[in-house]
Amino acid sequence: MKLNKFFLFIVLFIGCKHNNHDVSLTVSTQDSANAENNILYDIPAKKEDATTKSISESTADFQSKFHEIIEENGIVLDIKYATRNNFTKQKIYDCPKCFLRPEVSLKLMDANRYLNEKYKYALKIFDCYRPKPYQQKLWDVVPNPSYVTPPHKGSMHSRGTAVDLTIIDSLGNELDMGTPYDFFGKEAHMDNKNLAPQVLKNRALLRKVMENYGFQGIRTEWWHFSFNSGKYNLEEDLWTCQ
C-alpha cells in the first residue's frame, strides 16, 4: 500500500513539471509571435508616442504656413471672435490668437513700424487667419452672404491673407473711425463721405498706410484689408490654445 502511494506521488510530480513547462513554452511562443507582428506591421510600442508624434508633426506643419502676431512694438490684439463681444454675440474662436502668412505678417509689421515712427501710433487687430471650421461656425450663426462669406467660397481670412484692424494712439485709444468694428451699415462704407472730417482723416490714414504696404481695402468695411501678393489655399488647420 505504501509502495503504491509512492508511485502515485512520483507520477503527479512529473505531470506538474511537464504542465508548467508547457505553459511557460506557450507564453514564450506567444510573446515571440507578438514581437514578430510588431516588427512586420510597425505597431508603436506605446500609443502615447504615436499621438505625440502626430501632434508634433501637425504643429510643425502649421508653423511652416503661418506666423503668429504677438503684442509687441505697440501692437494690441483684441480678437473679437474669441469673445462674445462681436456681432454674433457668440464665442466663435476657442482662444484669441492672430496668425497670418509669413509674407503678410512681415508687411503688417512694416506698416506698424511706420505708424510708430511717423505718428507714435500702432495697430490694434480684431481678426486675422480664420480656419475654415471657424468660418463655417460663423456662417451657421449668420448665414447671410452680405455679412459673412460662405465657407465653400472661402474668405481671404481663411487663406491667412486678411486682417481686420484699426489705429490706436500712444495711450492705446482707438482713433475715431465713425463706427465700431463689424458695424454693418452705410456708415462703415469707405465711400461714405457724410462723416465728420476727423473720421474721414483717420480712415484715409489707415487706408493709405495699409495700401502702401501691399494691402487692399473693401468698400463696405473700413477695417478689412487683404494682402494682394501671392495665391494661397483655403486652410482648415486650427491653432492650439496652450
| Residues with catalytic roles | 221
Q: How many CB atoms lie within 10 A of CB 69?
A: 22
What is residue 87's DSSP assignment? Answer: T
Q: How far is CA 225 from CA 33, 83, 160, in A?
A: 61, 22, 12
**Burial degree of 66 (CB within 10 A; 0-12, 13-18, 19+):** buried
> 121-143 burial by CB neighbour count: b if 16+ within 10 A, else e?
bbbbbbbbbbbbebbebbbeeee
Tell the residue number behind the cell numbers 456681432, with chain if given: 87
Side-chain half-sphere CA neighbours of 162 within 13 A = 21
Q: Where are the beta strands (DSSP E) in 145-228?
A: 162-168, 215-218, 221-227
Strand 76-77's sheet: what is its strand order?
A: 76-77, 122-127, 162-168, 221-227, 215-218
User: How far apart, in whole angstroms, are the C-alpha atoms of residue 79 and residue 69?
Assistant: 12
